[in-house]
Amino acid sequence: MSALSRLFARPRLWGAVTGALLACLVLPAVAAPPAFEDTLAQRVLACTACHGAQGRAAPDGYYPRIAGKPAGYLYNQLLHFRDGRRSYRLMTQMVEPLSDSYLREIAEHFAALDLPYPAPSPVSATAQALQRGEQLALRGDTARQVPACVQCHSAALTGVQPSIPGLLGLPRDYLNSQLGAWRSGQRRAHAPDCMATIARRLSDSDVSAVSGWLASQRLPAHPKPARALPAALPMDCGSAYEHSPASATRGQR
């Protein structure tokens, strides 16, 4: 059975029931399809083909890590791809037929993985650019009305449960392209889309400075997302909250 058909496979119980019915109706019994162990880890092999073993990211830096990110964040991204707020055709095609509740299950599977991060790769940037990046990340820029990234992404920048991702351990190219996509409107989040507002207040050189600084930081010893924000968000953000699965009437499983 291919990785993709595993993702879309009918649940085991359903298969067993129809299998039994068929066996009663059609005699002599036809050869049973090859069995596969129906666990979520088997079903998400289709995902790890791109996202690296166990969702730890592919070495080229293009396919982002998904392991250990907050479940609400991962779930929101699957909805964003499915519902057209983020665009990557292959991702969209893959999640389009899946129900909210199955997407939630997949998000929880990857969120629960507790795997080490690689050391940051060296970043070429001037001392001045790194200083500017650090300023934006830790203190923000009141003149540009840009809050510090730590105000939402947690003091350690490892994200906040349930829905704010960490910003460390991500390649510079990935960070640049996500901030660029928010500026151009190619990536959107639930309204009000605070990241779109923030990305548009940054200059081109600010984007490159903050991405370079973030990508060059080592993760803390405990890289897990914080349990809660220490203070209210500096601006409203639709995607900072939990979006519960709608009643699972559409899609498979």
CB of 23 to ligand HEC, least distance (A): 32
- Calculate the dihedral angle through the C-alpha atoms of 65, 66, 70, 74, rounding to the nearest 10 degrees: 130
Residues 11, 253 contacting (CB under 8 angstroms): yes
Q: Which residues contact 71 (CB under 8 A, 6 or more apart)?
A: 104, 107, 108, 111, 112, 162
Query: 199 is written with which tokens?
Result: 């990305």
What residues numbered 167-196 form the site for ligand HEC, per CB under 6 A?
A: 167, 170, 175, 177-179, 189, 194-195
Q: According to the binding rule CB under 6 A, does residue 104 interact with ligand HEC?
A: no
- Judged by CB under 6 A, the residue of 57, 106, 157, 215 near ligand HEC is 106
CB of 31 to ligand HEC, least distance (A): 29
DSSP state of 114: -
State the CB neighbour count (10 A cutoff) for residue 107: 23
Q: According to the binding rule CB under 6 A, does residue 223 interact with ligand HEC?
A: no
Is 93 or 126 the residue whose CB approaches ligand HEC more closely?
93
Query: 136 is written with which tokens?
Result: 């934006």
Kindly write out the interface string for residues 138-157 of this chain, putting x where it contacts ligand HEC by CB under 6 A and - elsewhere. Answer: --------xx-x-xxx----
H or E segment and range at residue 173: helix 172-184
Residues 7, 96 contacting (CB under 8 angstroms): no
Scanning 12-20, 39-47, 117-125, 224-232 for contacts with ligand HEC by CB under 6 A, the matching segment is 39-47
For binding to ligand HEC (CB under 6 A), which residues are involved?
Answer: 7, 44, 46-47, 49-51, 63-64, 66, 69, 73-74, 76-78, 80, 86, 88, 90-91, 94, 106, 136-137, 146-147, 149, 151-153, 164-165, 167, 170, 175, 177-179, 189, 194-195, 198, 210, 233-235, 237, 239-240
